[in-house]
Chains A and B, each alone.
Chain A
Amino acid sequence: MAQVNNQAVEQEIEKTKQIISDLVESFIELGIIVHDFQGTESSRDALSLRLNHTIDELQKLQSPATNSLDNVPVPLDVLQYVEDGRNPDVYTREFVETTRKANQHLRGKMMAMRDLRDVLGKKIASEFPELGDVVQDIIKRTDG
């Protein structure tokens, strides 16, 4: 199901990519037309034609055929990154790096805690034998 969904999303994104690519093309053409605009009837028609085409494209963009793109999350940070003209993939890489570090840090803590737990549990069990069962229970429950 998720796979189907993903495919639909990918197709949709691909489609959207095409539309945006067309739009960029349209804008370039439109720019040329405007630049070369002489005020003649034909140029006016050409501009109208191109402008309408562009607006059609915008229309496609504005109201897509499916709502698959609703499930494509874009973090604001990424948006900001693109806005600033930087490569979002760089941001992705940095983020992954950060996550990895955090994971390692946590893992270290977990290891240390487990050791502490074992040492402390052993000591408690030896000093207070009556607590042995409780210690065992705690170790059992926390031993992921």
Chain B
Amino acid sequence: MDTATMKDQQSQVHPSQGPPEIPHITTNIIPLSQILRKFAESSFSELQQVIQTQPNNEAKKKRLLELIVRLRQEYVRLYVLTKWSRTSAQDFTKFIDILVWLKEQTFHFNNLIWGTKSLNQSLLSAKLPNPDLITALEVYTNGRPTLPTHNFIEPKISTKKVLSTLKELNTILYMKYATADDLPEEFTNYSIKDGRIYIYTEDYNLQISTADETGPFFLISFEFTFGDFVTSRHLMRVCNETLRTSGFQELKRLLTNYTNTMKLYLIHQKLSPMKTIKHVYHQDKFQIVVHYWVNSFVFKYSYIEIGLNRANKIVYKWFRQGEYIETFDEVQDFGLFLRDIYHRHATFILDQIDDLTVNKSLLQINELTGLFYFKNTTPTLNASLKKLNIDDFKNINDNLQSIRMDVKFLKISTILSVTGWIPNELIKLNPQELKKLPSPIFQQEKAYALTKNMKFYTRKEWPSNWFLILFIDTKVKSFIGNIKSMLGQWTLQAPSELNIESFDYKISKQLIDYVSKKIMIHLITQELHGSTYKVSKDDTIVVKTDTFIKIPNTSNVLYMTFKVEPDNKTMLVKVKGKLNTELTLEDFAIDPSGVFEIFEVIHFRRTSILGNIVSKLERLAKIIELINYLKLEKMNLVSVKLDQVVFKYGDQVCVLKDNFDLELPANNPHNLCLVSIKGYLATKGVGHLFKYLQDSRELVTKLNEISASAQTENLSTFKTDKLRYEVVTKSSSMFSIVYYMGNSKSREILQMNIQIKANGGTYHYFIGFESLQYAEYLKQDLTLKGPLYSSMKSTTKITPLVNGVMVDEAGLGQVIDYFHNRIKENSTPVTS
């Protein structure tokens, strides 16, 4: 930098222009004029101050005098200065300039010197050493430098001397070695020559020697028998030290240890490139632990321990899954040895597995890695291998079992889902429910554990809550059952076992039919409860007729068959029976032999399967019963249908409709008491009805007449005091004719009651009165002396009683007419 500065300065120099002007210095330099002016001004002001301000006395005079004296001195100095200015001032400033410039140059030079110095230091690293040409020349010519000899003189020993010395030395060695008292057994194989003792042992050879009779032994050479290695100097030093201080035994121990370490190290070296094993070399313990099957989780802690036995020999100990198995003394080829161990271990493992096959695949162990694999594998099996390879080995049989089961499940569930079965994952049966399944395996204590092997399937066309229950263990078991969720618990009802053990597509399709039938049988038999029945084949139920529905004159049994329709949603249910009597129904086919058939297409999901059929059968039973009765009564059947029977009694027609609803034509006199008759029918049954209808015909006809005349007479006039009457049915066996007499202010109601009284097979009619006080004139007719009795006793059986008369059927009409007319006559108003 300094050189650069200098260069810069120098470069400004141009010889043509001469050197540059020296810079002019102006600091601390004042012009003379300024000094003079200030001086004059100051003097003036001082004079002025003293003259003007001081009082005019001695003191003033003195001060003025002093001032004048001082000013004079000052002006003398000023004079000197002015005089100096004339001679020196101009040159002096030049000197100043020069001096400043010189100082500046000196400063630059100093910088230059320092710069040079620092240049010297900074270029120190660029300095090259001086070449050592002499040594280089020596190396070039001789191949090596000539080193200082330090006055060493090469010995010149004669061959003879050498030989005799060696011989002497041999003798000494013989003697010394033979008299050594701590020779180990291994060191007894030796030979002595060339002034050395050659000792041969199994693993190493060594040469020792000595200097003279009294000197100690020392080791000269050492080599392994199993390989050529450079002997370490350190070993020689340690051996010599040991030999000197502790003797041969200690030497042997040292060398044996060294040998073993070397061997282990060699093994360690050999093991290092082997990728399938993992080994740890414990130098301090003389041990190598070789872990094999390192990737196997199941068979971890399987290793071979290479170490020393008590005799300091290398042995191989095999630990299989942490358990000591065997010790091997001699291992020639570790690779082969390891392969043998793999094989033995794999065999041992496979021997513990009960069954190696899973669905045509065979479980194997990869002997190199210790991992399980399957022969003839499938993707499913491969997926399950992971579990085998990580789970505890003691669970292997269970795991295999569960894999087999999974495989089976998968297979079956694939089949089922393809064929339209719907799995239900939600259902979980509790132990009590499980026990309901009709198989002994579910009765045991631990049955609950089996639920994981259980799957539930249903079909969408099935009645709800019905499931196919598949249980897969060693065998496939299948059940059907009704499973409902009640209060959060799954409850199983009506379980039954299916005898299907294997599944394929064909069976699955058949299964639909089969299971559907099973369910139907179950549903039907459930509706048949209380009846005696027998299920024969898959689709036929034989029911004992009496216990199901009482149908008169039928064979003992009914055959119920059903057939699942091809759509799998509905089925055709047929009930077949036989009538023992001949019967023709207008709307129900019964063939001449009496066989009849009821059939219906029923949707699976319907709540009641047999409802319609049962009601049909019931109607049939009723009809048959009715017909039988009607025939018995010699009724004239007009027409017979399943739900309607039309028959004649006397000259009247009666219709019994669906569910035995009585219906009478409009002209039937019994219409009068239809309501009562219906009640009667309900309580007494159809058998009594017909008798009643026949028996009451006479009375009812009569009453109808009266009722009809009442209709006309009551309307004939509107006078309030006119007699009015009406027929009232009180019950099926009691009728009344009510008479309203008097005027509206004092109404008198007379009632004539006609009551049917059964006595044995014949009927009597009691005709009595209520409120007889309104018809005193009738009282005499209720006596044996009355005109009624006397007029009728010859023709009918008539018995007067306290409030009425008892009359038989023959005289009934007559008596009623008599009383009716009497009352009409007597109650005719007087006024009219």
Give residues in A with beta carbon < 8 Å to B.
6, 9-10, 13-14, 16-17, 20-21, 23-24, 27-28, 30-31, 34-35, 37, 51, 54-55, 58-59, 61-64, 67, 69-79, 82-83, 85, 87-89, 92, 95-96, 98-99, 102-103, 105-106, 109-110, 113, 116, 138, 141-142, 144
Contacts and interface: CB of A to CB of B under 8 A. Distances in A.
Nearest to A15: B82
Nearest to B39: A61
B103 A73 contact: no
B79 A78 contact: no
Given A82-B77, A95-B96, 12 more contacts: A13-B85, A16-B82, A17-B82, A27-B71, A28-B72, A62-B36, A72-B90, A79-B30, A95-B92, A99-B95, A142-B7, A142-B10
Q: Which 9 A-B pairs have the closest CB atoms?
A: A69-B33, A27-B72, A62-B40, A72-B32, A61-B40, A102-B102, A13-B86, A88-B84, A58-B40
14 contacts: A13-B32, A17-B86, A20-B82, A55-B47, A61-B37, A70-B33, A74-B35, A85-B77, A88-B84, A88-B88, A89-B87, A95-B99, A99-B98, A110-B109
Given A74-B81, A113-B109, A51 B51 contact: yes
Interface string B2-16: 000011001101000
Contacts of A79: 30, 35, 81
Contact of A78 (B92, B103, B105): B92
A103 B102 contact: yes
Interface SS of A by simple majority = helix
B96 A75 contact: yes
Contact of A27 (B68, B95, B105, B112): B68
Given A10-B86, A17-B82, A106-B105, A75 B92 contact: yes
Greatest chain B CB density within 10 A among A31, A64, A116 is at A31
B82 A73 contact: no
Nearest to B34: A70
Greatest chain A CB density within 10 A among B33, B79, B88 is at B33
B84 A67 contact: no
Interface in B47-84: 47, 51, 61, 64-65, 68-69, 71-72, 75-84
A88 B116 CA distance: 43
A82 B73 CA distance: 11
Contact of B37 (A13, A54, A62, A113): A62
Nearest to A76: B28
Contact of B65 (A35, A59, A98, A138): A35
B75 A64 contact: no
Given A27-B71, A62-B44, A69 B36 contact: yes
Interface in B439-457: none
A81 B87 CA distance: 16
A40 to B, nearest CB: 13
Nearest to A54: B47
B338 interface: no
Contact of B89 (A55, A73, A113, A138): A73
A59 B37 CA distance: 9
A46 B476 CA distance: 163
Contacts of B78: 20, 82
Nearest to A33: B68
B79 A142 contact: no
A24 B7 contact: no
A78 B84 contact: yes
Contact of B85 (A35, A51, A72): A72
A24 B79 contact: yes
A134 to B, nearest CB: 11
Contacts of B98: 99, 103
B650 interface: no
Interface of B: 6-7, 10-11, 13, 28-37, 39-41, 43-44, 47, 51, 61, 64-65, 68-69, 71-72, 75-90, 92-93, 95-96, 98-99, 102-103, 105-106, 109, 112, 116
Nearest to A13: B86
A70 B92 contact: no
A6 B85 CA distance: 12
A89 B89 CA distance: 10
Contacts of B85: 13, 72, 74
B82 to A, nearest CB: 5
Contact of A30 (B7, B68, B116): B68
Nearest to B88: A92
A54 B815 CA distance: 202
B79 A64 contact: no
Contacts of A9: 90
A64 B36 contact: yes
A141 B96 CA distance: 28
Nearest to A95: B95
A74 B89 contact: yes
A74 B96 CA distance: 11
Contacts of B6: 142
B109 A106 contact: yes
B74 to A, nearest CB: 9
Contacts of B7: 138, 141-142
B84 A71 contact: no
Nearest to B97: A99
Contacts of B88: 88-89, 92
A61 B36 contact: yes
B170 to A, nearest CB: 69
Contacts of B30: 73-76, 79
A82 B81 contact: yes
A14 B85 CA distance: 10
A82 B76 CA distance: 10
Contacts of B112: 113
A62 B41 contact: yes
Nearest to A137: B7
B81 A58 contact: no
A21 B96 contact: no
Contacts of B105: 106
A77 B28 contact: yes
Contacts of A70: 31, 33-34
Given A10-B86, A69-B32, A72-B31, A83 B77 contact: yes
Contacts of A71: 31
A74 B32 contact: yes
A93 to B, nearest CB: 10
